[in-house]
Structures are given as C-alpha cells and as structure tokens.
Structure 1
Amino acid sequence: MNLKLYQLPKQIKRMIAALLFSLTFGVLIGLGFLYYTTSYSTQGAIERYNGSQVSEEFDIAENYPKPISEIFITTHNHIIAFSLIFTIVCSVFYFSSLLNNGWKTFFLIEPFISIIVSFGSLWLMRFVNPNFVYLMAASSTLIYISYFTMVILILYEILFKKS
C-alpha cells in the first residue's frame, strides 16, 4: 500500500487528530497519576509496590506492600490497555511518510516489547529484587518516548504536510 497520511481526506485527518488528542489526554492523566503516587522516583515506585519502611514500632506505613491480587489487576488492565492504544497509534503511524523503514519498524515494535518488560519488571521488583525498578523505569520511558514521537509525527503529517 502506498497510501500516506497526508493524502487522506480532510475529514479522516480531523478524526485521527481528535482520536490522538483524546488518547493523549488519557495518557497524560495516567502520567499525572504516576507522578502523584511515585513522584517519578525509583524510591517512590519501590514504596508504592513493596511498601514503606517504618523506623519505629508504632509508626504506620504510608504504603503497604501491594497484594498479589492488586498486582494482577494492575498488570492485566495496563497490558491490555497499552496494547490496544499502541495497536491504534501504530496502525495509523504505519501510513506516515516521515520516517524510513528502520526507524518506522523500531517504533512499530518497540512499545509492545517495553509493555511486557515494564510490567514484568514490576513483578520482579515486588517479589524478587527492588533493583528491577531501574528496568521498569527504562522500559516505561521508552514506551512514552515511542508514544509521543509517533503522535507528534502523525499530527505533523496530517496537519501540516501538503500533498
């Protein structure tokens, strides 16, 4: 298929832009929640899932270790939601004309790998070793870099590139 985003009818371009703005709003809300619960720090993430350390016998922990049932539901919901979000964004991005095949292939595949690594490392951080938080942070960063790169390139092409 040689169809490119900039060649689409104006109505389809507007629908894609509206979809991407809506998805991005949801992604930003998720990032806001992540900041609220972890302050984007590795220590905050460890405390969120492994629980807070208490120094005195009568101290009350701010965070308790997450039970396995909560980790199951968190990973289940996020893996499915992120996979669907990236299926939509990658399907549109495939028709972009702004990147060559190597970079395009990277952005089409990388998010799906990072989804599994991120949420797999959450389990490893909770039940094996807290240092897996660094793997989770790196793979999560790649997820968001991929998402925003694709969205920006798609929006640029449908809003500014002329046929």
Structure 2
Amino acid sequence: MQIHGLIHHFPKEIKLIIVAFIIVLSIGFYGGLSFVRNTTSMSSSGIETHYLGNEEDENAEIMKFKKSEGELLTVVHNHILSLSVIFFLIAIILATTSINKKLKYFLMIEPFFSIILTFGGIYLLWKGVTWFKYIVILSGFFMTFSFVAATISILYQILFYQKVKK
C-alpha cells in the first residue's frame, strides 16, 4: 500500500483533528523549550549548572544543587517515553504527506536518535562526562529542527497544498 500523498485525501474531519493536534502539541513543545531557556540560558554552562549545580560558585545569583539520581532518572525516563510517542505520531502523519522522500525519512527517523543522545547525554553529563553537554546541545538542536520542519510540513500539506487533479 502506498501512502505517499494520502493526507490530501483525508476527510475534512481527520484533517481538522490533525491540525488541532499539531497546534496543541506545538504549544507544549515550545513551552518546554521556554522552560529549557529559562533553566539553562540555552548555554553549555547553563546545562552543566542545571544538572550538576553551582554550590561552589560564591558569586552565583541563584544557588543550584546537583540533581539527585532519582530526579535525574525521572527527567530522563519521562522525556524519553513522552518524546518517543510524540515523534512516533508525527512520523505516522508525516508519512502520509508528499514532501521530498529523503527529507521525510530524515524527519521521521532523526528525532529518535536525538532523544537518545539528548537524554542519554544529560545522564552522562550528570555522571561526570561534562563534554557531553555539547552533544546535548547539538542533538537538542536537531530534535527541535525536526519538530519544526515536520509540523510545518504537515500543516502546509493540510492547509495549503492543492491536490493534483487527474
């Protein structure tokens, strides 16, 4: 069964629920990015401080303590589970679009690598492999890029793409 371009043939009700899903999901995703910006300043030192603390810095404006193993495992566990479901659902929807096949495959598969690298990297950072903060930044960038590109592609295909009449 070929599903290439199938989204154009979905009933209006299905298209509407997909658009609503993508909008609400995007609000949550960008809210999460806002939280990351607030807690880490989107910097390598901010990531390190957020997870490893800064109690040795006497000049720190806000005192932060190293996350406990339970806190860290909860963050890693929750994010890996929830983001894998989110990106699985996006990949299923994206599979029905008619965007470039190589781009589609990249956007469908890449987030799963980024999830492991981002949250595995946070765990390794917490364990003392501090250079992994750069892997966390890079994989977080690719995860965000994939989310943005996939959701824009899906919305464009539903709202603006014209069916080719045969």
Question: For this structure pair, what is the TM-score category when the shorter chain's length is used for normalisation?
Answer: over 0.9
- Do the aligned residues in 2 keep the contact of 1:54 with 1:60 (CA within 8 Å)? no
- Do the aligned residues in 1 keep the contact of 2:44 with 2:134 (CA within 8 Å)? yes
TM-score by length of 1: 0.92
CA distance in 2, matches of 1:26, 1:55: 33
Select 2:52's aligned residue among 50, 56, 59. Answer: 50
Q: Displacement of 1:60 after TM fit?
A: 9.2
TM-score by length of 2: 0.91
Other-structure match for 1:158? 158
Select 1:10's aligned residue among 9, 12, 20. Answer: 12
Q: Which runs of 4+ in 1 moved over 4 A?
A: none
RMSD, matched Cα: 1.6
- The letter for the 1-side match of 2:17 is M
**CA displacement 1:56-106 (0-9 Å, x = unmatched):** 5xx897110111111100000000010010011111001110122x22221
Other-structure match for 1:77? 78
Aligned CA distance change for structure 1 residues 60 and 103 (closer, same or farther; 3 Å): closer
CA distance in 2, matches of 1:128, 1:33: 24
Stretches of structure 2 that go unaligned for 5 or more consecutive residues are none
Aligned CA distance change for structure 1 residues 153 and 55 (closer, same or farther; 3 Å): closer
Other-structure match for 2:137? 137
Stretches of structure 1 that go unaligned for 5 or more consecutive residues are none
- Do the aligned residues in 1 keep the contact of 2:50 with 2:66 (CA within 8 Å)? yes
Select 1:29's aligned residue among 28, 31, 46. Answer: 31
Q: How many residues align?
A: 160
